Amino acid sequence: MSTPLEKKSTVAEIQARFDQDVERFSNLETGQTATMDAPLAMELITQAAFRATPKIQRVLDIGCGAGNNTIKLAQFTSPFDCDLVDLSRPMLERAHERVAEVNTGRIRLFQGDIRELPFPDEYYDVILAAAVLHHLRDDRDWESTFAKIFHLTAPGGSVWITDLVSHEHAAVQAMMWQRYGDYLLSVGREAYRNRVFDYIDKEDTPRPVTYQLELLRKVGFEQVELLHKNTCFAAFGAIKSK
């Protein structure tokens, strides 16, 4: 990552890109093709949410995109009320349309940044955050957002994350980044790989999965789980004590 934090994409710039990218996020079978193991990660976090959470009545989907993860969760348990959060209004509208087809619970849409939107504490039985937290910036931003997620989680509830991750050691990071580049070449051409790398460099500030698991414990979660990791992508979560 060569772009300094102060020159990374603004929230408005990220929103504008996703406004134009709804179709790519609307395939439950493939997920996002730029993400390795996207269908498996989606399966794991939603099934883990179902298995680890005694009763799922209220769900918060942060950076919901076109609704894939909430739709997948509905395959394991429904109905439930869900609050869908995204920067992009077109994403939210598509998510509402798709989620309503599989879940009869109340659906509410919130356009905006999870860091700024008000939600009630200890309210959500399950919180999902797929391919969104890598937009957090410095340590204070990461810790305050994870603390907010902890406070929003109901006692006995859980949070589940899939995301792009970095690595603690520079040589390991370089190795994994090369492997990710090879994956992108396998699904597209060199121009596709370069385009993905360019927008990651401009938009994203991923952290190691080790950092995030430690942070989940630091903000108050007593149990954390690493479900899957492949190269630069991981699926993991945490359960809040009753």
- CA nearest to 130, candidates 227, 55, 9: 227
pLDDT higher than threshold 70 for residue 20: no
pLDDT higher than threshold 70 for residue 46: yes
pLDDT higher than threshold 70 for residue 22: no
Residues 186 and 34 sit within 8 Å (Cβ to Cβ) = no
Residue 87 sits at φ, ψ, to 5 deg, of -70, -30
pLDDT higher than threshold 80 for residue 24: no
Structure tokens at 231: 């190269």
Query: pLDDT category, 4, cuts 50, 70, 90?
Result: confident
* pLDDT of 209: 98
Structure tokens at 88: 């992009």
Other CB atoms within a 10 A radius of the CB of residue 9 amount to 17
* pLDDT of 26: 54
* pLDDT of 99: 97
pTM of the model: 0.94
CA 28 to CA 115: how far, in whole Å?
A: 27
* pLDDT of 66: 92
Domain span at 52: 5-239
> Is 231 in a helix, a strand, or coil?
coil
Mean pLDDT in the chain?
Answer: 93
- Residues 6+ positions from 34 with CB-CB distance below 8 Å: 184, 187, 196
pLDDT higher than threshold 60 for residue 147: yes
* pLDDT of 223: 98
Mean pLDDT along residues 137-158? 98
* pLDDT of 64: 96
Other CB atoms within a 10 A radius of the CB of residue 192 amount to 14
* pLDDT of 19: 60
Label residues 156-173 b or e (16+ Cβ within 10 Å = b). Answer: ebbbbbbbbbbbeeeeeb
* Total domain count, the chain: 1
pLDDT tens digit sequence for 73-85: 999 999 999 999 9
* pLDDT of 8: 75
Structure tokens at 47: 């099934």
* pLDDT of 9: 75
- 43 vs 17, residue with greater confidence: 43
pLDDT tens digit sequence for 183-232: 999 988 999 999 999 989 999 999 999 999 999 999 999 999 999 999 99
Mean pLDDT along residues 83-98? 95
Measured in whole angstroms, the distance separating CA 181 from the mean position of its chain's CA atoms is 21
Which long-range contacts does 87-93 make (Cβ < 8 Å, 24+ apart)?
Answer: 87/11, 87/14, 87/15, 87/18, 87/63, 87/111, 87/112, 87/113, 88/15, 88/18, 88/19, 88/22, 89/19, 90/19, 90/22, 91/18, 91/19, 91/22, 91/25, 91/64, 91/65, 91/66, 92/64
pLDDT tens digit sequence for 108-135: 999 999 999 999 999 999 999 999 999 9
Q: Residue 50 sits in a domain of what CATH number?
A: 3.40.50.150
- CA nearest to 96, candidates 122, 70, 59, 130: 70
